[in-house]
Structure 1
């Protein structure tokens, strides 16, 4: 049941996101679109309550409960960022907004990667805390090894993402070299501009 609910929450997240952006930019109803987007945290609340009730009703702690905690942590870390990222792209595509800037190169890209890592760290901290709460809630009699394994999994994710961010710092990504002939000098009235050859 929990896996089905997690899938339903994920599908619901994208449906609410698409609906909210469509209302904002296609239907020209920005307030209603914002209201729909603000409903998204309710999905995580439903999942949290369902997971707690499942454990309370004698459900054996398993990877399903761990997955629910990881999903909630990921949404806390990246949910708002994802909504803002897609909102900027929708504004550009459908409402004549400015073109969203890329992650950049060099130091700018390294800073971007470390900011993403902080989001991963925040999501992992939430997931690990929820998992620890589930371990305490289940008590000493239950086998909580699956929940402990999920805690180690989120710690590994933080470590791996930290390595990726460090690689962008140590070996910064460089802007692609320009190809083609250099710009020709300006020509006015059939004559070369000063400095031309």
Structure 2
């Protein structure tokens, strides 16, 4: 595994460590301002990964899937970061601190709207990631960027499929599962 792949793994771990530290600081130590500061460090992790990836390519490395995944990761982290922190915050409050409301599941039209909102976030992540991939293709000498182009094309298809899934939730809404056992 190359350096960039290891950096992606390290940055993902660092992202969740920062979130957990921020939430622990907020709820266990009651330090709101410090918690906000710690949680605000999550984009720093992304920025670090962007710099390492860019420097590696600028120094002449052939673009790999790891470089492409770094751009995808950064796009997703920026677009979904706030909602991921909110998701973790709700669960931390309920499951760790034993306070707050139990995270609830969504069904029907509410689920469809929520999924569509997440598709819009996916589209934003795609725009950011594709822009970073385009920038990388510009940095790397010709002939060494086929992998990056392949990832943009594949991700374009994925965004399209996700859009169709998003629309399908309005046509065939997700229903709440019945509890209990049934005799079949």
The TM-score, its normalising length taken from structure 1, stands at 0.83
For residue 60 of structure 1, report the CA deviation from its aligned partner.
1.2
Q: Which runs of 5+ in 2 are unaligned?
A: none
> How far has the Cα of 1:170 moved from its partner?
1.1
Post-superposition Cα deviations, 1:105-127, rounded to whole Å, max 9, x if no partner, equal 22111111100101111101111
3-state SS of the aligned residue for 1:61?
coil
Cross-structure match for 1:173: 174
Q: What secondary structure does 2:50 align onto?
A: helix
Q: Hey, what's the Cα distance between the residues in 1 that align with 2:64 and 2:123?
A: 23
Q: Which residue of 2 aligns with 1:3?
A: 5
Aligned twin of 2:154: 153
Q: Give the TM-score taking structure 2 as reference length.
A: 0.88
- Segments of 5+ residues of structure 1 without an aligned counterpart are 180-197
Show the counterpart of 2:46.
Answer: 44
Q: How far, CA to CA, are the matches of 1:64 and 1:100 in structure 2?
A: 34
Correspondence list, 1:55-134, <5 A: 55-93=57-95, 94=97, 96-102=99-105, 104-134=106-136
Structure 1 pair 178/57, CA: closer, same or farther in 2 (3 Å)?
A: closer
Number of residues of Structure 1 aligned to a counterpart in Structure 2: 177
Cα shift at 1:30 = 2.1
Q: Which residue of 1 aligns with 2:163?
A: 162
Deviation of 1:58 (Å): 1.0
Cα distance in 1 for residues equivalent to 2:21 and 2:48: 20
Q: CA deviation at 1:38?
A: 0.7
Deviations 1:49-76 (A, max 9, x none): 1111111111112212111101101101
Residue 137 (structure 2) aligned to one of 135, 147, 160: 135
CA-CA distance at 1:80 after TM superposition = 1.3
1:143 Cα offset (Å):
2.3
Q: Quick one: distance in 2 between partners of 1:61 and 1:174?
A: 44
Look at both structures and tell me which one has the larger radius of gyration over its CA atoms. 1
Aligned to 1:194: none
Q: Distance in 2 between matches of 1:178 and 1:41?
A: 41
Is residue 20–residue 33 contact of structure 1 (8 Å, CA) maintained in 2?
Answer: yes
- Measure, in 1, the Cα distance between the counterparts of 2:11 and 2:49: 8
Q: Secondary structure at the match of 2:123?
A: helix
